[in-house]
């Protein structure tokens, strides 16, 4: 089995080893210390400002997208939501569900948010903005520095879903004026699906306190209060937290976020260089593409992208990542996060070449 999806991804041996162990009881000083260490390291890796905190949510990335919308925003806000694909669309749906006044910036899928487009909303009284770092469904990486400057200029609260982009792409809460940002366990951290993590600056914490959200499980004030003693209000995915601790320590020891970004970039470039001769076209322009994933369109007439996913899964035992919705028949994706070697990439390229020989691609 080989997995080139964008989550769950291939795990490291060290993580798999922890998965074999029994799960300890967690209301202990030992576990609290581990949680506090996780919080400190995550804040460093997100380059968060002094005083930042982390909400450890047991629930996939979407739980933290929803938790963020509920805790950071209210009916008194007017926010900009960038919809450049299925994850941007999810923020639109969440604003509808939670009745947060918003304006949708709908992009042609595969296209970036340009400065020209964004500045149409300059000085219009918006109070916040939410978008992805990388829109995983199309592979587009947004220009977060440009967007952060816009938000700072307009005094807008910036909430970033960095679930897939974290570790793969350059990201700094401080440099990009980000107030809150999420990642998830099953993306580049390469842990089992189960948890997501939101880093909150002091403004984000203040918004939570003022909002008094009507929810038990999604009450971030409760998470922050419990977090002061290194605990969560409810039972977390304990083994994921232990795996996270091992992974974060290893990440820092091996050079931290800069090295992680560099590795991801090299891997994406290695793959993209290897497929140049194949009848596949990049869905987003190279300069707008994230390091975490490559979205590809077969160029041969009559070739169905979803069918390619099925053939590679059933006949070669390899998972690439299919697309949903309108893009399902036209686009598939190859992920670059997780424990993937160049030899595995070479094997996938061989499979593509074999499909061309068989006149299936
Ligand atoms: C994977 C992902 C999520 C979370 O999806 P879940 O299925 O809830 O884990 C959120 N945003 C982005 C950009 C993602 O890639």
At which residue do the structure tokens 């039972």 appear?
A: 235
| Segment 184-220, tens digit of pLDDT | 999 999 999 999 999 999 999 999 999 989 999 999 9
| Segment 225-267, tens digit of pLDDT | 999 999 999 999 999 999 999 999 999 999 999 999 999 999 9
- Helices 61-72 & 86-97, crossing angle to 10 degrees? 40
Among the listed residues 195, 246, 182, the one whose alpha carbon sits nearest the alpha carbon of residue 12: 246
Stated pTM of the model: 0.98
Quote the mean pLDDT of the chain: 97
Q: Separation of 221 CA from ligand 1 center, angstroms?
A: 23
Atom index in ligand 1 nearest the CA of residue 165 equals 13
The alpha-carbon radius of gyration of the chain (Å, integer) is 20
CA atoms in the 13 A half-sphere facing the CB of 4: 31
Q: Does residue 8 have a cis peptide bond before it, meaning omega lies within 30 degrees of 0?
A: yes
CA-proximal residue: ligand 1, atom 5 (nearest): 61
CA-proximal residue: ligand 1, atom 3 (nearest): 61
Instruction: Output the pLDDT for position 208.
Output: 98
By three-state DSSP, how is residue 1 classified?
coil
Rounded distance between C-alpha atoms, residue 240 and residue 238, angstroms: 5
CB 347 within 8 A of CB 318: yes
Q: Residue 298 contacts by C-beta under 8 Å, 6 or more apart in sequence? A: 279, 280, 281, 304, 305, 308, 330, 361
Q: What are phi and psi of 49, to 5 degrees?
A: -70, 160
Provide the residue-wise pLDDT of the chain in tens; the chain has 361 residues. Answer: 899 999 999 999 999 999 999 999 999 999 999 999 999 999 999 999 999 999 999 999 999 999 999 999 999 999 999 999 999 999 999 999 999 999 999 999 999 999 999 999 999 999 999 999 999 999 999 999 999 999 999 999 999 999 999 999 999 999 999 999 999 999 999 999 999 999 999 999 999 999 989 999 999 999 999 999 999 999 999 999 999 999 999 999 999 999 999 999 999 999 999 999 999 999 999 999 999 999 999 999 999 999 999 999 999 999 999 999 889 999 999 999 999 999 999 999 999 999 999 999 9
Mutate to test the pocket of ligand 1, among 184, 197, 290 (most ligand atoms within 8 A of CB): 184
Residue 164 near ligand 1, beta carbon < 6 Å: yes
CA atoms in the 13 A half-sphere facing the CB of 280: 26
């Amino acid at each position: 089995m080989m997995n080139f999806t964008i989550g769950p991804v291939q795990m490291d041996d060290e993580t798999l080893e922890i998965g074999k162990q029994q799960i300890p009881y967690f209301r202990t000083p030992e576990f609290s210390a581990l949680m506090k260490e996780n919080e400190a390291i995550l804040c460093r890796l997100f380059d968060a400002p002094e005083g930042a905190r982390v909400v450890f949510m047991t629930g996939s990335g979407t739980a933290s997208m929803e938790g963020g919308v509920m805790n950071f925003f209210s009916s008194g806000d007017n926010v900009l939501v960038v919809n450049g694909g299925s994850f941007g669309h999810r923020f639109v749906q969440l604003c509808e569900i939670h009745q947060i006044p918003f304006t949708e910036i709908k992009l042609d899928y595969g296209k970036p948010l340009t400065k020209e487009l964004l500045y149409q909303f300059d000085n219009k009284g918006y109070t916040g903005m939410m978008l992805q770092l990388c829109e995983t469904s199309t592979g587009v990486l947004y220009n977060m520095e440009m967007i952060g400057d816009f938000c700072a200029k307009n005094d807008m609260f910036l909430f970033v879903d960095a679930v897939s982009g974290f570790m793969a792409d350059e990201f700094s809460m401080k440099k990009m004026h980000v107030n809150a940002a999420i990642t998830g366990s099953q993306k580049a951290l390469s842990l089992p699906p189960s948890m997501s993590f939101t880093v909150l600056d002091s403004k984000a914490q203040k918004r939570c306190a003022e909002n008094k959200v009507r929810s038990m499980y999604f009450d971030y004030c409760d998470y922050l209060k419990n977090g002061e003693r290194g605990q969560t209000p409810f039972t977390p995915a304990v083994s994921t937290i232990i795996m996270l601790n091992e992974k974060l320590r290893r990440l820092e020891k091996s050079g931290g976020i800069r090295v992680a970004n560099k590795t991801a970039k090299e891997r994406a470039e290695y793959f993209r260089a290897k497929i140049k001769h194949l009848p596949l076209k990049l869905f987003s322009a190279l300069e707008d593409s994230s390091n975490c994933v490559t979205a590809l369109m077969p160029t041969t007439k009559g070739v169905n992208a979803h069918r390619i996913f099925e053939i590679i899964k059933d006949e070669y035992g390899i998972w690439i990542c299919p697309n949903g919705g309108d893009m399902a028949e036209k686009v598939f994706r190859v992920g670059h996060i997780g424990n993937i070697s160049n030899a595995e990439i070479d094997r996938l390229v061989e499979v593509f070449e074999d499909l061309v020989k068989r006149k299936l691609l």
